[in-house]
């Protein structure tokens, strides 16, 4: 396991009330998440790295990374400029979430219909090709 490099900063944010730190009831683990106060304190451009990482971050008592959630993300309306490069979409297929490059996006029939429509709509708005495959 890797030692989390921004542990001191993360604890400083927890002391300031910008990050929640909760001990697991039985295991020697700490679960981190940014607080509601942090959501109003920072804009998308000024959000600190430790707080971006804190979304579902699980550390051992000595600061080693046990598990990571997805980093803090922002709606397009919250960004001052659009990110460069080809967009990626997260698709849930057969109960698992995985990264899909927009060029190879595939939506299976077993995916919830509403979610499949949203993914197709987002990909087509960005000019990305979408392939829809039916599950056997």
**Which pTM value belongs to this model?**
0.60
Q: What is the pLDDT along the chain (136 residues), one digit of tens a residue?
A: 689 999 999 999 999 999 999 998 888 899 999 999 998 888 888 899 999 999 889 999 999 999 888 888 878 778 888 778 877 666 655 555 555 444 444 444 333 444 555 555 555 555 555 554 444 3
**What is the Cα–Cα distance from 129 to 31, expressed in whole angstroms?**
38
Token pair of 123 as six digits: 């990909």
Sign for the pseudo-dihedral over CA of 68, 42, 5, 26: negative
113 burial class (0-12, 13-18, 19+ CB within 10 angstroms)?
Answer: exposed
**Domain boundaries, given as residue ranges, for the chain:** 7-67, 86-133
């Amino acid at each position: 396991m890797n030692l989390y490099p921004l542990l001191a900063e993360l604890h400083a944010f927890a002391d300031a009330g910008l990050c929640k730190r909760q001990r697991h009831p039985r295991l020697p683990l700490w679960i981190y998440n940014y607080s509601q106060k942090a959501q109003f304190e920072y804009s998308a451009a000024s959000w600190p790295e430790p707080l971006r990482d804190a979304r579902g971050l699980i550390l051992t008592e000595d600061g080693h990374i046990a598990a990571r959630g997805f980093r803090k993300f922002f709606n397009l309306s919250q960004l001052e400029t659009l990110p460069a490069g080809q967009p990626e979409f997260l698709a849930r297929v057969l109960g698992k979430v995985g990264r899909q490059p927009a060029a190879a996006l595939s939506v299976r029939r077993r995916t919830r219909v509403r979610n499949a429509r949203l993914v197709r709509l987002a990909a087509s708005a960005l000019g990305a090709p979408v392939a829809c495959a039916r599950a056997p």
